[in-house]
């Protein structure tokens, strides 16, 4: 993994040191999984399910994205995915605060796009 990629990830809130520690300080392994993150479909599924107001499936996609981003130390994505997860957890469609979900979805989208751009430009 290049120092530039590490620096860009850190500058934008990623926990590079903690993640490298989990990956036994293996830069190549960390890079392998960061590159796989670009192909992860949970963010796309989350957006789709939220647009469809399918909150049960949206919860699952948000929860999975939360876990993947936590494992990779992508804290800004983790934080927003966690917020969406909690807004949807155990709720029927009538109980969901659509305005708050939309707000968190927009914040998640900004963080997600930023990290995808960083990965694409620096990996």
Number of domains in the chain: 1
Q: How confident is the model at residue 123 (pLDDT cuts 50, 70, 90)?
A: confident
Question: pLDDT by residue (tens digit) across 27-47?
Answer: 999 999 999 999 999 999 999
Burial 76-107 (b: 16+ CB within 10 A, else e): bbbbbbbbbbbbbeeeeeeebeeeebeebbeb
For the whole model, what pTM was predicted?
Answer: 0.95
User: Once rounded to an integer, what is the mean pLDDT over residues 66-92?
Assistant: 97
Residue 18 sits in a domain of what CATH number? 1.20.120
Is-contact 84 105, C-beta < 8 A? Answer: yes
Domain of 83, in residue numbers: 3-122
């Amino acid at each position: 993994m290049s120092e530039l990629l590490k620096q860009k990830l850190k500058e934008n809130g990623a926990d590079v040191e903690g993640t490298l520690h989990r990956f036994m300080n293996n830069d190549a392994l960390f890079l392998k999984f960061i590159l796989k993150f670009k192909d992860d479909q949970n963010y796309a599924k989350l957006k789709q399910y939220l647009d469809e107001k399918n909150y049960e499936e949206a919860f699952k996609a948000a929860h999975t994205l939360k876990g993947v981003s936590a494992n990779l130390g992508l804290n800004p994505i983790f934080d927003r995915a966690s917020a969406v997860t909690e807004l949807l957890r155990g709720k029927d469609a009538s109980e969901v605060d659509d305005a708050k979900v939309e707000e968190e979805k927009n914040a998640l989208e900004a963080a997600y796009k930023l990290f995808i751009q960083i990965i694409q430009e620096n990996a």
